Amino acid sequence: MNRFSLDELERRCQKPDHRRVGNWMARHVSRPAALRITRVVAPSGISANAVTLAAWGCGVAAACALAWGTIGGWVAAAVLLQTWYLLDHVDGQLARLRGAASLDGVQLDYLMHHTINLLVTLGMGAGLFVRTTEPLWAVAGLVCGVSLLLITLQHDARYKAFIQRLKRLDGRLEVVGGGGGRPEPQPPIPRRPVRLAAWIARKACEMHVVTNVTSVLALVQLAVGDTRLLIAAAYLAAIAPVAAAVAGWTLFHSQHVGAAEREFAAWYQTGDILLSHTHGFGETDDTNAKK
């Protein structure tokens, strides 16, 4: 596969809208850089799922390195997290190159993301606890990790609810599509102060931002010799309440505006289709579903 030029690999490996959809780092740095890694590893025959597992391992190792509570641990975590983010793009490129993209691979990728969202700041809190013996840092890391997890799990739970309803429909279903949930280009940065503050808070909770901030803080701590990790403590003290606020507002707003119902209606035209089981709201054979 080395015979392919980068232009040819880009056509084969990248998503059709890879230049306009996604965050700035993914569009301009990570996807092009990952393409070069894909070009190198593709001839080895390594599977996309194996790369996902390797990325997963890097992310978990980064969280463990942060839990050491040392500058060296932060530097190691910075390298591991940057590697994780690159490999997170390589797995999809390999799958598209080989025509092996599957729902199982996507599911594995989502599980990996949720794990890393929880563990990274949990590792930060554990490391600061090790350094200071102050349990509040462990609590802050836990609050932040759970909050970041809830922000992303909201979408998974919404689509599980979709599948629950679709399984209970009896009749012909028309898929409208394009009305919601489809990736779109990043909107312009808001100018109004309140909206700008909300945008910054939301961005601060995205894992690629956490990854880059971790890298910058690792270098700063190394440069100034911050062996007490005061800079790291300041970051966690700031990001934990922000993440909790964003998670809380996101969940409240979604329920308040009926976001799940709106998106379902935007995608599916049910017409006169009837529910096959109508004994009560939310009843399903799935024992984990909401009753």
Residue ranges of domains in the chain = 6-275
Take residue 266 and report the two structure tokens written for it. 């935007």
Sequence-ordered alpha helix ranges (H) in the chain: 6-13, 24-25, 31-41, 48-66, 71-97, 103-132, 135-167, 193-204, 207-224, 230-257, 259-267
pLDDT at 54 (0 to 100): 97
| Ranges of the chain whose pLDDT falls below 50 | 1, 277-291
Please state, as a whole number, how many other Cβ atoms lie within 10 Å of the Cβ of residue 202: 15
pTM, two decimals, is: 0.87
pLDDT at 178 (0 to 100): 59
| Nearest partner of 159 among 92, 254, 88, judged by Cα | 254
For 6-275, CATH gives 1.20.120.1760
- Tokens 């990325």 correspond to what residue? 55
Cβ atoms of residues 38 and 9 within 8 Å: yes
| Residues contacting residue 14 through CB under 8 Å, at least 6 positions apart | 31, 35, 93, 96
pLDDT at 271 (0 to 100): 60
pLDDT at 23 (0 to 100): 80
pLDDT at 181 (0 to 100): 64
pLDDT at 83 (0 to 100): 97
**Phi and psi at residue 200, in whole multiples of 5°?**
-65, -40
Query: Distance (Å, rounded) from C-alpha 242 to C-alpha 255?
Result: 20
| Nearest partner of 83 among 214, 174, 186, judged by Cα | 214
